[in-house]
Chain A
Amino acid sequence: MKFGIVVNEGPYTHQASDSALQFARAALAKGHEIVRVFFYNDGVNNGTRLTVPPQDDRNLQKSWSELAAKHGLDLVVCIAAAQRRGVLDAGEAKRHGKDADNIAPGFRISGLGQLVEAAILADRMVTFGD
């Protein structure tokens, strides 16, 4: 079965990203396909590579990046939500005259249409948020 996952909150403050990650791992373990993980609202903050959580805590960004590399997941960060919150790739940083980018490996920035498209392509959409 094809799953689409939406993550509406950033890492650490809310459990949403942890829950979504556990759900994604379990779905993949059962042989399901994940058509896309879409990060929206504060969820875009999962996609910055500049987080430095304490050694004894989990690293959510790294976990997502590794899961994406292992399973070829499409991790999409909403461009409009990301621009509001300062999550940029090299192209966006240049376009807006910013001196740095911070997008994490395995994540890509794209439009909200990617969320609607995932909702159309997936058999089930599961949303994690506040």
Chain B
Amino acid sequence: MSTLHTVNKSPFERAALISALGHVRPGDALLMIEDAVVGARKRTAFAAVVEAAAKICALFVLAPDLAARGMAEKDLIEGIKTVDYGGFVDLAAKHRRVQSWL
């Protein structure tokens, strides 16, 4: 009965990522899309919170959004996986519900 959480804003602009990470449950997945890919970077001011959440649920980042912003897998916090749009669809299908943290 798990949930796919999606977040689309940088944690530097909105509280959505931190709020979503505060509500994830074991077995859930959280996918960072659009400007939220910023939250997947190593060594940001929010990295410790994201790293702690990675111990609770699976974290993903949308690769096309990462590439668009000049980032690559080497820039990501360890353990965060990349998916393409097809992978986004698979995650949405796999989990019981999708919660978009707008």
Contact = CB atoms under 8 A, between A and B. Distances in A.
A and B from one complex? yes
Nearest to B84: A26
Contact of A23 (B35, B85, B97, B102): B85
Contacts of B8: 15-16, 19, 128-129
Contacts of A127: 98, 100, 102
A125 B93 CA distance: 10
Residues of A contacting B: mostly: mixed
Contacts of A1: 93
Contacts, number: 50
B91 to A, nearest CB: 10
B102 A125 contact: no
A27 B98 CA distance: 14
The bracket for how many chain A residues form the interface is 20 to 34
Interface residues of B, number: 18
Given A15-B8, A124-B97, A129-B102, A22 B85 contact: yes
Nearest to A26: B85
Contact of A29 (B33, B35, B86): B86
Max chain A Cβ within 10 angstroms of own Cβ: one of B35, B92, B98: B92
Interface of B: 6, 8, 33-35, 64, 84-86, 88-90, 92-93, 97-98, 100, 102
